[in-house]
Amino acid sequence: MHFKILIVICVCVRFSADGIPLETSIEDLKNYFSPRVIGGENTLEGYAPHMVAILVGDEVIRLILCGGSLVKPNLVMTAAHCLTDFQIAGGLTNLFHAVVGSNNWNTGGIRVDFQNYHIHPEWDPVLIKNDIGFLCLTKKVELSKHLQLAVMNFDFVGEEASSVTGWGWVAQWALMPFHLQVLDVNTLSPEDCIERVREGSSIWWPNAPHVNSTIEICTLHSTGRGLCFGDSGSALMSKETGTQIGIASWAFTCARGVPDMYARISGFKDYIQSIMELY
């Protein structure tokens, strides 16, 4: 069983009635409440100006669902699974919107609404493949110091230093930060990724999807540092070139020391370019 927002439920770990791993120590619990994506850090204001917070709700009650990246002044790229639950006849529910231009999704920034969307025609929610989609804004935003376009990297990436930003849970206790978090990670070679996912599957997720390295790229930091709920759709950026190389897609239970999976930008070059040309 898996959640579409990045994470699967781990059926192999014993939990208390409050949902805390029974083996968790007091020191571990203190770390759960540190203000960061599991293992990440607060970003400086203006860091990652391409980041988009995708939300649902109104001015009274709203929740952050996913991240995304601004790829044109009126186009956001994100994960396909971030969009599917909000489809209605004729488009998307009007409670579905986004905030751009701020590292705090709850204050500041600019609210933007959507008039159209695109989901990859071969999106497979069972195997979690081709997990890429786009949201078209009702009007173009004005770029600024705090609002910039993500530059796509269509070269095949092997092992290199990278970083991911997001507003996802900072712990398995479902704490979601208002402030954007960043985590430095390393991308793995396809062979290393496949082997590590195979090893993780034997412990955490026996029916985990297979890894398709032509359209997926994975990262790994360490146990206790990785993606969690709410980070889906967020951009994986190359630290060497500053370009986007992936879109956060799926992972094992938050930061279990198993690779996190991203849709590989180079694997969707034709699709990405075809959608961007429409806008």
Report yes or no: 113 and 65 within 8 Å, Cβ to Cβ.
no
Same domain (yes/no): 170, 260: yes
**Domain membership flag for residue 106:** yes
CA–CA separation, 248 vs 250, rounded Å? 7
> Distance of CA 169 to CAs 65, 100, 172, 175, Å?
11, 20, 7, 5
Q: What is the domain-level CATH number for residue 262?
A: 2.40.10.10
**Domain membership flag for residue 20:** no
Q: How confident is the model at residue 227 (pLDDT cuts 50, 70, 90)?
A: confident
Write down the pTM of the prediction. Answer: 0.82
Taking the CB of residue 50, how many other CB atoms lie within 10 A of it?
21
Report yes or no: 9 and 1 within 8 Å, Cβ to Cβ.
yes
Q: What is the pLDDT of residues 77-122, one digit of tens each?
A: 999 999 998 888 878 888 999 999 998 888 889 999 999 999 999 9
Same domain (yes/no): 256, 174: yes
Given this model, what pLDDT does residue 34 score? Answer: 30
- Choice between 18 and 188, residue whose per-residue pLDDT is larger: 188
Q: What is the dihedral of CA 152, 158, 163, 165, to 10 degrees?
A: 60
Helix/strand/coil for 209: coil
Same domain (yes/no): 113, 164: no
How is residue 235 written in tokens? 């951009």
Q: How confident is the model at residue 18 (pLDDT cuts 50, 70, 90)?
A: very low
Same domain (yes/no): 93, 71: yes
Same domain (yes/no): 128, 109: yes
Return the top range by mean pLDDT from 19-23, 30-34, 133-137.
Answer: 133-137
CA–CA separation, 156 vs 259, rounded Å? 18
Domain that holds residue 158: 151-267
**Domain membership flag for residue 118:** yes
**Domain membership flag for residue 208:** yes
Given this model, what pLDDT does residue 16 score? Answer: 30
Same domain (yes/no): 74, 139: yes
**Domain membership flag for residue 257:** yes
Given this model, what pLDDT does residue 83 score? Answer: 95
**Domain membership flag for residue 27:** no
Work out the average pLDDT over 240-258. 88
Helix (H) or strand (E) holding 185: strand 181-187
Q: What is the pLDDT of residues 136-179, one digit of tens each?
A: 999 999 999 999 999 999 999 999 999 999 887 655 555 666 77
The total number of structural domains that make up the chain: 2
**Domain membership flag for residue 41:** no
Report yes or no: 174 and 185 within 8 Å, Cβ to Cβ.
no
CA–CA separation, 14 vs 27, rounded Å? 18
Q: 9: which DSSP letter?
A: -
Residue 15, beta-bridge partner list? 21
Question: Which sign does the torsion angle of CA 96, 111, 165, 69 carry?
Answer: positive
Report yes or no: 167 and 176 within 8 Å, Cβ to Cβ.
yes
**Domain membership flag for residue 240:** yes
Same domain (yes/no): 170, 132: no
Q: List the one residue out of 219, 274, 254 whose CA is nearest residue 13.
A: 254
Helix (H) or strand (E) holding 264: strand 260-264
CA–CA separation, 49 vs 182, rounded Å? 13
CA–CA separation, 223 vs 252, rounded Å? 11
Same domain (yes/no): 141, 155: no
**Burial class of residue 197 in the structure, from the number of CB atoms within 10 Å of its CB (0-12 exposed, 13-18 middle, 19+ buried):** buried
CA–CA separation, 130 vs 248, rounded Å? 12
Helix/strand/coil for 263: strand
Same domain (yes/no): 167, 179: yes
CA–CA separation, 101 vs 89, rounded Å? 30
Same domain (yes/no): 227, 136: no
CA–CA separation, 37 vs 30, rounded Å? 14
Same domain (yes/no): 163, 262: yes
Same domain (yes/no): 156, 214: yes
